[in-house]
Amino acid sequence: MYFLSELEHKLLVRKLLPMAREVGVSSDLRGWNWHQPPLKPYYDDVKLPMYAVCSKYCPSDRDIYLGFVEKARRKLNYKIALGKILHGVVSDCLQAFIQRRDLSFERWCEKIRWKEIPAKPEELLPIARKVWNYLVKICEARYIDVKSRQPYASEWDLMASTVPFLIEHKISGELLGLSGLLSLDCYDYLRCIMFDLKVQAEPEPWHRLAPVGYALVFESVHEIPVDICCVVYLNILNGKIVVKKDLFFASDELRSWWVEERDRKLEIVAERKDPGKPERNLCRKDCVFYHVCYG
Ligand code: SF4
């Protein structure tokens, strides 16, 4: 899922890394400068999760007001259920492989709390199994390849070279006005790439905001630069797994866009300002607050 293909690796080495070195990032937009403008959050007593800052499903941001001021109930749907299950499959399968734990899909299924998932097991499990098997196969193939080239490497070293990923790494975003309990999808610690996984989604420019946000948080906590980000699109089309990646440089422009989104959304919550509804035809019927706005 997070492994780069040969072409993506070329793009990284020949284009993105040289661009990052040549263009660079302004020092005031590095996460470690969280204590001064523009990164310093204006409101100290409001913290938001990353998805709230980066999501642009609602054209007027009323979803932020409803979710964090009114505390309205979200109505979950099949797409959200699929996203939740496949995020779980990807993170649990990779972690089980890295830690050399049980890789049985059946045993993983026993842990699913179906009451929290708005879909039937028979709708989701065949897809989940397919993604699980795909990941196991790809990790094993990588492992065998690395082992054949480094016969004297220890088991730990082989695993670190094969799957060099921090998965669901827990990190605090408080320095940047975010929740203290963030969990990032994946960070490749050999190539310093911040990944974000999107399930059953078509690319949108704003999807780049989440990995850029996590890069800023990583910089604020660990004080190391994260210049490259990637959105991974995992789609199931006619029963087939399709994985596409949007690999990019976390430029000043994207960082500034993230700061604008954060500031506007923190203000809605801190000032308890209802931004109102946009034209009805701009609202998606599968919006989790559609029943609140038009019920
Ligand atoms: S129904 Fe429309 S206005 Fe209401 S939260 Fe959803 S997208 Fe926003």
Helix (H, G, I), strand (E, B) or coil at 230: strand
Separation CA 229–CA 136 (nearest Å): 24
Query: pLDDT tens for residues 223-269?
Result: 999 999 999 999 999 989 999 999 999 999 999 999 999 999 999 99
Q: What is the per-residue pLDDT for 50?
A: 97
Q: Does a structural domain hold residue 292?
A: no
pLDDT tens, position by position, 168-218: 999 999 999 999 999 999 999 999 999 999 999 999 999 999 999 999 999
pLDDT at 103: 85
Q: CB-side exposure of 68: number of CA atoms within 13 Å?
A: 24
Phi, psi of 123 (to 5 degrees): -80, -30
Question: For the residues 154-166, what does the mean pLDDT come to?
Answer: 93
60 ligand 1 Cβ < 6 A: yes
Roughly what angle, to the nearest 10 degrees, separates helices 209-222 and 252-270? Answer: 90
287 assigned to some structural domain:
no
Q: What is the DSSP string of 178-227?
A: B-S-EEEEEEETTTTEEEEEEES----GGGGHHHHHHHHHHHHHH-----
**What whole-number percentage of the chain has pLDDT above 70?**
100
- 280 lies in some domain: no
Residue whose structure tokens are 């094969």: 162
Per-residue pLDDT, 208: 98
Nearest CA to ligand 1 atom 5: 63
Is 116 contained in some domain?
Answer: yes
91-121, pLDDT tens digit by residue?
Answer: 999 999 998 888 899 999 988 888 888 888 8
Q: Are the CB atoms for 142 and 165 separated by under 8 Å?
A: no
CATH number at residue 158: 3.90.320
User: 285 lies in a domain?
Assistant: no
Asked if 162 and 146 touch (Cβ cutoff 8 Å), the reply is yes
| Cα 53 to Cα 33, 70, 206, 266, distances in angstroms | 19, 17, 11, 8
Name the residue range of residue 259's domain: 6-272
Please work out whether the CB of residue 62 comes within 6 Å of at least one atom of ligand 1: yes
The overall average pLDDT reported for the chain is 95
CA 290–ligand 1 middle distance (angstroms): 6
pLDDT at position 1 is: 87
DSSP H or E segment with residue 63: helix 62-68
Nearest residue (by CA) to ligand 1, atom 7, is 58
> Which residue's CA is the nearest one to ligand 1's atom 2?
283
Q: How many domains does the chain have?
A: 1
How many Cβ atoms from other residues are within 10 Å of residue 187's Cβ?
23
Res 118: pLDDT: 84
281 domain residue, yes or no: no
What is the C-alpha to C-alpha distance for residues 281 and 70, in angstroms, rounded to an integer? 23
Distance, in Å, from the CA atom of 225 to the CA atom of 27, rounded to the nearest integer, reads 10
Q: How far does residue 58's CA lie from ligand 1's centre (Å)?
A: 5
At residue 295, the pLDDT reads: 83
Which of helix, strand or coil describes residue 154?
coil
Q: Residue 118 falls within a domain, yes or no?
A: yes
Share of the chain above pLDDT 90, in %: 90
CA of 59 to the centre of ligand 1 (A): 7
The residue type of 123 is E
**Residues constituting the chain:** 295
User: Is the shortest distance between the CB of 65 and ligand 1 below 6 Å?
Assistant: no
CA contacts within 13 A on the Cβ side of 244: 12
DSSP tally for the chain: helices H, then strands E: 11, 5
In Å, how far from its chain's centre is CA 116? Answer: 21
Model pLDDT for residues 3-35, shown as the tens digit of each residue: 999 999 999 999 999 999 999 999 999 999 999
Q: Evaluate whether residue 182 is within a structural domain.
A: yes
pLDDT given for residue 228 in this prediction = 98
Confidence (pLDDT) at 101? 85
